[in-house]
Amino acid sequence: MSNNKWITESTLALSEQSFSKPNHQFWTLQITGWIAYSVIVFIAIVRPQFFDENFSLSRQLINLLVESGSGFLLSYFQWLFIQRIVHLKIRQTILFSFSSACLLGVFYNIIKLSAYKVIIFQQNWNVAWSTLEFGGWLLFSLTTMFVWTSIFFIMLYNAKLQKEHEMLLRAQTSAKEAQLQMLRYQLNPHFMFNTMNAISTLILKKENDKANEMLEKLCEFFRYSLEQKTFSESTVADEIKFLKLYVSIEKVRFNDRFSIKIATQGNVLSAKVPSMILQPLVENSIKYAIEPSKKNGFIEVLIHEASEQIRIEVRDSGYHLKDKKNSGFGIGLVNTKARLDAMFNKNYDIKISHNTKIGSSVTILIPHQELQRL
């Protein structure tokens, strides 16, 4: 599975969770809330009437069931309504939500008062209504619907904000992946050009055996690259394998003109790095330190843990790099810096130092993060 596909599927999974979570919360809140409402009404209103000579427990319980059941249905309709309008502007959503809460509150009040007349007093539903009685009940009915509306609005608007945030993260991640892939693909033709140019030079010198050996190793390098599915992210262990293949190619061209040492220390092999992070650095050393020099040179690649960071250091015998024209910032290092910036968002450090006695070095500090792939 490619990185892009893994990121997409992960983001979609998060989006599905953002939808399912409010629905699960709604039913939990809806059931427990109306059960609690029934208990409170029973304790506050029904229980004090136990010693009334006209009291009928069965009628009171039926009335309470109708009151709670109708409230349950009306609040459910309110939930569905807010779900449909939550995508509007916040002012419109608030206006429509609480306007509908007023209407539902009035309707709920009519149901409660009618049920009370029919079930408790066994009268017609619209008999003996007084303005004072209706108004007193209305305040409690409106408050009930306003409370449910406020809870639903907060739940659904928060879910909307989470979804928008996830979509923003998805867009940012996709943009970063595209940038990393673009920079990665920039290295391939650059590396191919340099290697093919070296093979061409060997052929012109009629060193056909070396040219053939170099071409075979080049094919092996790209075969390995294709097997890695051109991930924009890699591990230190994979990068060392790439680097060894690259060095074997350059060894054919330079014979024994340089030695290379690759050393790791600590738990760094599974650490996440941009793909092809080591090869351009070593290629840079070969170009500016080994190739122009008539003496044998050396290259060292040292990778170790530094607190919560990974320290990557590439040293070489490039004394000539004190020349400002050959500062070492060719396409390889420029590309490396750009990919580090895209992956770690400036949370990294890269330094280049030149010393006429010990040579030159490139030092990179990046966060120690484990690479996870499905």
Q: Phi and psi (nearest 5°) for 306?
A: -140, 95
State the Cα–Cα distance between residues 184 and 178, nearest whole angstrom. Answer: 10
Give how far Cα 227 sits from Cα of 222, 294, 342, Å. 9, 37, 24
Give the number of residues written for the chain.
Answer: 374
Mean pLDDT for back-to-back runs of 10 residues, the chain (374 residues): 42 46 83 92 84 80 91 94 89 91 92 86 68 74 92 88 76 58 54 77 84 83 65 84 85 83 91 85 84 86 91 83 47 76 84 78 91 62
C-alpha 73/C-alpha 75 separation (Å) is 6
Return the pLDDT at 10.
45
Structure tokens at 173: 């991640």
Task: Supply the pTM of this predicted model.
Answer: 0.52
Q: 113-146: string of b/e by CB count within 10 Å (b at 16+)?
A: bbbbbbbbeeeeeeeeeeeeeeeebbeebbebbb
pLDDT at 2: 40
Q: Distance between terminal CA atoms of the chain?
A: 7
> What is the structure's pLDDT at 230?
53
| pLDDT tens per residue, range 178-205 | 555 555 555 556 667 777 887 888 888 8
- Cβ neighbours, 10 Å, residue 218: 21
Of the candidates 341, 349, 345, the one whose C-alpha atom is nearest the C-alpha of residue 366 is 349
The predicted-structure confidence for 89-104, as pLDDT tens digits, reads as follows 889 989 999 999 999 9
Q: For 207-367, which CATH class?
A: alpha beta
**Whole-number pLDDT of residue 172:** 60
Query: What ranges do the domains of the chain cover?
Result: 3-169, 207-367
Distance of CA 82 to the CA centre of its chain: 28
d(CA 229, CA 221): 13
